[in-house]
Amino acid sequence: MAQNSLVKWALFYRKSGISVFPVVPPEKDSEGKDKKKPLVKWEPYQKEIASEEQIEAWWSQWPSARIGFATGALSNLYVVDCDSKEVYERLQVAYLSDSLVTPIAQTPKGYHVYFQNVPELRNQAKVKGMALDTRGEGGYVVAPPSPSINGKAYRWLVNPWENKPAMMPSALFKVFKDIKDIYLNNSSSAFKDLVKTSSTRTPSGKSHQVSLDFGQGSRDQTLFHVANHLVKGRMPVNQIEQLLTLVAEKVCNPPFPQKEISIKIKSALQRSENQERNLTEEVREWVLSSSGFFTSSEVLKCLQLSSRQERKNLSQILIRLSEEKLIEKHGDKNATWRRVEKEFTEVNLSEIEDIETFDITLPFGMQKYVDIFPKDLIVFAGAPNAGKTAIMLETLRLNQKRHKCFYFSSEMGKFNCKKRLSKHTECEHWNFTFVEDFKNFVDVVQPDHLNFIDYVEVLEGRYYEIPGILAQIQRKLRNGLALVALQKNPDKKAKDGRISWAIGGPQTLAKPAIFVTIDAEYPGAVMRIVKAKNYKDENPNGYQLHFRIKQGINLLPDGIWSPE
């Protein structure tokens, strides 16, 4: 989850009646452990839920803060924190009935099992040195989708908005209620049995497997445990039923009723489906918040999915989303997708009274040939060192007094830019915003202003993305304009030997209102209007103008615009 979504989750939890507060972003303490320390004095929020304004103020101050839940009476939560997968599975087998549905979150190392608050139980940490804690009145836990120090985010396996916390099973309540006796009486083994892992190491280092109990009083939960693992392993249902029937008859003591075997399998399937459904919703939410193209690997990384089963599940989920027409395959690359965007805006053309062009001046008076409108793209495509940046800076100089200008540079750093501007012979004062260190042009485009994007670059082999990026930039615009610099593809040449489009192919000509190429031609360079959509009188397509560049920024024309 993106950081800006954490405040949305915090507000969502608040509406659900949970008391939330900010916890420090992932940070190691002196022992290398995750601090998980509240950023505010959180004790008051055990008695009163913070207001929406307070929550928004917290995450405005600490955008990367994680979400803390105050457990206990106010939130009506009691949380059992299993610090390992083995402890969690043992807890399931011994105390969580297959009919019990309650919120469960996967943590970086284990699981949180959420129950309704139990006033009689207190907080316990590392009980008897075991990998299990409890949090009730006076305690707190970190909640999904908060990140952790190892990069894995907390995530819901069974979410709390569809499945309210259940009452703690009486057998488990008895175990925790007797916790004091366990501390005082080493002969008590009930809790030791609970936290005993399924695999332990002997002093010699050999692994010792703990046997499953199919006897009276345990066979019910053990059979469900076996069924659950077989379902996770994707064994066919008829084979699971065949195997469990054999175990019920030959291993269980006394034998387990055969008619109840199908109930166990159905419960195991339901649990697996619940977990897959939650993952499906996570993937769906991620896709809906995305734009452009993405790969399966990017989804795996963002959602912290690492196991083989999670990878397999993701592939199936993406196929289902494709069948729903939410996404579709993109290009010839495997596992590359794009979100299908069906939103559109209806426009009543009869209500448009005046058609106003965008007031812009282009280098060498190019604007006299073409009408430019709000939301248009202008593309300058040039070979390396042909003068793209000089053309962009000249256009900026000509318009900086009339428009608020933003210059987004992926190549030229701030010191280089400052040095180049100082060499201009006709401009001492520049009035624009220089922007660097951004991840995505589309995200930072200013919809109502003049945007200079120098230049759009993608990874080698993914040039096919550039036409789509141009389309996304244009969709982001409202009343503004974008001037985009592109590299020309040295491998694709027109019949006359000149390169007539940018890397990304001929489709890069589709969106721009005007597409201009720049080629080095000794002793200077030449600009050519390859495509002009809304030309005024004469058609300028194919017009060219020779020019020279001095000191990397001063443009000097050699002649006038004329047909080739």
Our CA angle for 392, 398, 403, nearest 5°, is: 95
pLDDT reported for residue 277: 60
Which pLDDT belongs to residue 195?
A: 42
Check pLDDT > 80 for residue 447. yes
Beta strands in 204-323 (DSSP E): 207-209, 293-295
pLDDT at residue 243 tops 50: yes
CA distance 459 to 198: 47
pLDDT in the model for residue 198: 40
Alpha-carbon gap, residue 221 to 226, rounded angstroms: 9
Bridge pairing between strands 377-382 and 336-339 = unpaired
Phi, psi of 263 (to 5 degrees): -65, -40
**Which residue, of 199, 226, 256, is where some domain finishes?**
199
In the prediction, which pLDDT does 103 show?
Answer: 92
Q: Within a domain: residue 243?
A: yes
- Rounded Cα distance, 378 and 387, in Å: 16
Answer yes or no: do 312 and 264 share one domain: no
- Whether residues 416 and 559 fall in one domain: yes
Report H helices in 290-413: 296-302, 308-323, 388-399
64 and 183, same domain (yes or no): yes
Q: What is the C-alpha separation between 541 and 530, in angstroms, rounded?
A: 5
Q: Which helix (H) or strand (E) holds 337?
A: strand 336-339
Its domain, for residue 244, covers 212-289
Is residue 407 within 8 Å of residue 432, measured between CB atoms?
yes
Is there a single domain that holds both residue 416 and residue 445? yes
Closest to 533 measured CA to CA, from 369, 320, 342, 357: 369
Q: Is residue 457 located within the same domain as residue 551?
A: yes
Residue that is last in its domain, among 289, 304, 331? 289
- State whether 151 and 259 are in the same domain: no
Q: Give, to the nearest 10 degrees, the angle between helix 219-232 and helix 261-288.
A: 40
Residues 194, 258, single domain; the answer is no
| Lowest mean per-residue pLDDT among 277-291, 373-387, 420-434 | 277-291
Q: Residue 424 corresponds to which amino acid? A: H
For residue 344, tell me if it sits in a domain: no
Residues 13 and 126 in one domain: yes
Model confidence at 3, pLDDT cuts 50, 70, 90, reads very low
Within 96-204, residue ranges assigned H as helices are 170-177, 179-184, 190-195
The answer to whether residue 283 scores a pLDDT higher than 90 is no
Name, in order, each residue with C-beta under 8 angstroms of 530's C-beta and a sequence gap of 6 or more. Answer: 500, 501, 509, 515, 516, 517, 541, 542
Q: Which residues pair with 295 in a beta bridge?
A: 336
pLDDT at 560 over 90: yes
* Claim to verify: residue 302 and residue 241 sit in the same structural domain: no
* Percent of the chain whose predicted confidence (pLDDT) is above 90: 36
Asked if pLDDT for residue 244 goes beyond 90, the answer is: no
pLDDT in tens, 6-37: 898 999 999 999 999 999 998 887 777 888 89
CA distance 292 to 470: 11
Do you find a cis peptide bond into 165, omega within 30 degrees of 0? no
Question: Within a domain: residue 384?
Answer: yes
pLDDT of residue 117: 93
Is the backbone peptide bond immediately before 464 cis, with ω within 30 degrees of 0?
no
Give the model's pLDDT for residue 421.
Answer: 93
List CB contacts of 187: < 8 A, sequence separation 6 or more. none
Confidence bin at 276 (pLDDT 50/70/90) = low
- Cα separation, 455 vs 39, in Å, equals 41
Specify if 99 maps to a domain: yes
Mean pLDDT score across all residues of the chain: 81
Decide if 346 is inside a domain.
no
Mean pLDDT calculated for residue range 31-56? 89
Task: Out of 146, 166, 199, pick the residue that ends a domain.
Answer: 199
Nearest Cα residue to 266 out of 241, 246, 242, 247: 241
From the list 445, 463, 459, the residue with the least C-alpha distance to 408 is: 445
3-state secondary structure (DSSP) of residue 68: strand
Structure tokens at 561: 């615009």
User: Are both 407 and 526 inside the same structural domain?
Assistant: yes
Residue 402 has pLDDT above 90, yes or no: yes
The structural domain count of the chain equals 4
Task: Report which of residues 290 and 454 the model is more confident about.
Answer: 454
Give yes or no: residues 420 and 529 share one domain: yes
Q: What pLDDT was estimated at residue 202?
A: 38
Buried b (16+ CB within 10 A) or exposed e, 455-493: bbeeeeeebbbbbbbbbbbbbbbeebbbbbbbbbbeeee
**pLDDT tier, 489 (very low <50, low <70, confident <90, very high otherwise):** low
CATH number, position 380:
3.40.50.300
pLDDT for 98 = 62
The residues, ordered by sequence, that sit 6+ positions from 560 with a Cβ below 8 Å of its Cβ are 545
Q: Are 178 and 172 in contact (CB under 8 A)?
A: no
**Residue 403 included in any domain:** yes
416-444: pLDDT as tens digits:
899 999 999 989 899 999 998 777 788 88
Task: Look at residue 318 and tell me if it is in a domain.
Answer: yes
162-210 pLDDT, tens digit each: 888 998 888 888 878 765 443 333 333 444 444 443 444 433 444 434 4
Average the pLDDT over each of 284-288, 293-297, 380-384 and give the range with the smallest value. 284-288
The verdict on 420 and 479 lying in the same domain is yes
Residue 53: pLDDT over 70:
yes
Q: Which residue has the higher pLDDT, 291 or 246?
A: 246
- Over range 366-386, report the average pLDDT: 92
Work out the pLDDT band at 492, boundaries 50, 70, 90: very low
Q: What is the pLDDT of residue 451?
A: 96
